[in-house]
Structure 1
């Protein structure tokens, strides 16, 4: 029986290369990563950046299709561990899977509770691919619900394609991995809006005018290069800013 990716691998690989040559926006990046994920038979992807000089628990999520609740439950410290663990494969290395059911056997890096949580949340098999993209420390996490679902032979190709694609958009990747660009007030306004508060309600909470709230939110939208409030909020949540 063909593996999940093998039956349409040739066409998918061609499409992935086409997408890699057309990356110009975060939307393009999302499309590229989603296509690559499907091509290797994975369910989920997460592009993680760890900047020079930062502690291991300061992983920044550049792009991901993991559910927000899953990220919150797992936590960024565990995400950093998953990205940089001994199973992480640099280009040219044979990728090794982290199987959540056997994760306690990896020692203190992943404990039994964390392993069970990963398994329950649909990340039973996880691969970490190190990416060579300039000076940035980037890792691609590809996961699936069932062990053996991901096409191992397609991973190495996907890793090199990802390195190539991301090398073409260093500014876009750097923007996603950058420090929090928001001021305290801009962050507060986005947070309260994400909680379902109206502009007038946020104004009362912060003790400022509604026009001031709108101004803060507009600045946040511009800093994230977003097209609206919802996109700015999604970017801030995905980056761990709110």
Structure 2
């Protein structure tokens, strides 16, 4: 029993520095490698944006997949009743066996290599989030590894949320301004960010201009660099 406890504890204690979005992304990519997943997307339900809306915290989905599947499709997945909590048996989802998805949503998943998915409900610092792990081949993800992955996700997310609380006093940005800088820092164009957030390109430019002004920066690159150094994104 002692050997088992040591095996489980080691990976959890090895991931102490999950304090920025970049570290969170690396952390989740590492979990993908551990369980055999190709992709992940970490989201929170977004009540302020209306029903069937989510806020993306971190993701390695390609932009076309996000465009084709959409926020509503992700919301349908996490509201399907097929999500699992800590200690619950993982349930595999496939586009063919997900009648709660539209034909377009199912086709979008298959086209972009999300053939098998597992959705886990996370709780950290009193906040609920959901992570979707997916693979392009059925049976590639190891269900037995998902239990430990679930624990690690909760642990890493708790570290991230706690660190964000610590940074809050030094964070002058609104949620939307922060999101815009994050997506631009990951190489998205203004039009792509507008599509992700469901607003116009002019609105995105306005958010970014506000962020630049708040940081006293000269341009987008300087604002992004300041946000990264401050741990804001």
3-state SS of the aligned residue for 1:97? coil
1:30 to 13, 16, 25: 25
| Alignment partner, residue 152 of structure 2 | 161
| Alignment partner, residue 201 of structure 1 | none
Q: Distance in 2 between matches of 1:231 and 1:44?
A: 26
TM-score by length of 1: 0.66
Shift of 1:180: 1.8
Is the Cα–Cα contact under 8 Å of residues 43 and 143 in structure 1 kept in the other structure?
yes
| Alignment partner, residue 65 of structure 2 | 70
TM-score by length of 2: 0.68
Q: Distance in 1 between matches of 2:157 and 2:216?
A: 23
Q: CA RMSD in A?
A: 3.8
Is the Cα–Cα contact under 8 Å of residues 36 and 142 in structure 2 kept in the other structure?
yes
| Alignment partner, residue 113 of structure 1 | 104
2:128 to 114, 137, 140: 137
Shift of 1:14: 7.8
| Alignment partner, residue 88 of structure 2 | 93
Shift of 1:118: 0.7
| Alignment partner, residue 151 of structure 1 | 142
Q: Which has the larger radius of gyration?
A: 1
Gaps of 5+ in 2: 1-6, 169-173, 192-201, 227-232
Q: Deviations over 1:93-145 (max 9, x none)?
A: 11101111332xx3xx1133321221111101111000011332200100001
CA distance 1:222–1:51, change in 2 (3 Å): farther
| Alignment partner, residue 180 of structure 1 | 176
The number of residue pairs the alignment matches comes to 192
